[in-house]
Structure 1
């Protein structure tokens, strides 16, 4: 296992690359803040998870933006990404259409799945993106995608993302074994946000780092500490290059942060560090770093945020103004028609 050093005195990234990382993180956070606002807007006075503009469960990724920005900076739209039940950051960083993403979350006909899938079941052929609420479900499909890319002799790769709790699932180990055996072009990513719902990782996982498990399958294992987008970017660069060159898979475990609850409505009484969690918000920290390094001014930083908010507001407006599915067509696009 390698622990990626986050104490880098001088960045190897260009000014534009560093700005783009911050731009991506601002866009993700602005989207999550907008969903948070509209999700809670009409669920009072009595909490009803089935009520409102956005019914159902909601898992938001605030705090995990560095993972998506750092990894997806190396991907093209032709690469495949399979994500978790907390998928928005990866979807946005991978270039998913923001209007169609918002419309799907709001259950509208203009959404990715015609409003039938909701936020945990995003499928986008244009960016080869998928996700599911099933734990570790994205690993086996990523192998299928990687196998197809390999057979076609392309340099396309698959990136499979899961949480640290899912590393104890059989699908995790089976996928690592087969990917290593066939030298598939896949990058496995474990987002370690310390909590599997309400269970701390120490109570469920026998080892301190899932990156150690890579050695059992003959692949590199790297753990990145500090939720540092540039360190994540550097680790992902090596893993992606290895996959594209035909040298096989890599396992990246990234210690990140879940700023908000496991789901919206989660009281988070199990978190002893809850009162100080906002002090570790990665976006203000990275923005301050870029300002200190002369990469951008305070005015530039504010403009990036305003740009992100404007893009998100337009997407939310598109979603709210889109039609909802008619009740008599509720099963359309769900089952195969006209066999």
Structure 2
């Protein structure tokens, strides 16, 4: 059945995310209180995207924009496309830095499309949103915390019964669970001026790793779940990684050098996603903060995930500086 669309605009706020968190490669993620605001409405015809803030003047302003591509994919599953689209993006999440900007765009697009359909929530539940967003992104570790907030464990299951998986992913596709973060966790992001590409970072990974390294990472990942939710004093040990960070280091030497210095000082620091941003989960002594070419920002853990409401962006919200929040 072809969908009916709302006449008024809808809006979603989506958080930045950090994936991997050291040993939790392609599995663990954390939502951070740094947000993109995106609004959309059905237009009489065509498609136009207005971008303010991060990516302005660089990102596509038509159907090529990732938000719109995610919306189109969702509309197809909901039964049909609207006559046209007008989309407004106020971006604060840095592009190509390892803070989930593409996942935020995808989650924004999927949730906006669902919200613009009159009975979208009934046709397309949150589990379906997660599965589609993960399919569009290629893996669920960033889209899960962006959608759910907090600290998430994500996975991809095969068809039901093929791997014995249960829970949200039992029917195939991505699944995730959300956990509360302990009060002692203190996220700080160190964002370099330079950009990185996830595709290049993935290309640096070997096809096989030593069994001992895989076993060590499995133990550290399990410990990290406990450390993040109940025992922050264990975060330094829990964030040790042998699966991806060392292999990627030659492609981002500045990140590798800063990370090595932080860990030598006892800071529970990791590469955020594919980098080059660094995420510290414990406080950083001032003398170990990097200098020129890096921006340090302490961020709270976002606990709400993607939030949808009605209406256009207000005047203040269209100013990324005025609207930026540190919790």
Query: What is the TM-score with the length of structure 2 in the denominator?
Result: 0.25
Higher helix fraction: Structure 1 or Structure 2? 1
Query: What is the TM-score with the length of structure 1 in the denominator?
Result: 0.25
Higher strand fraction: Structure 1 or Structure 2? 2
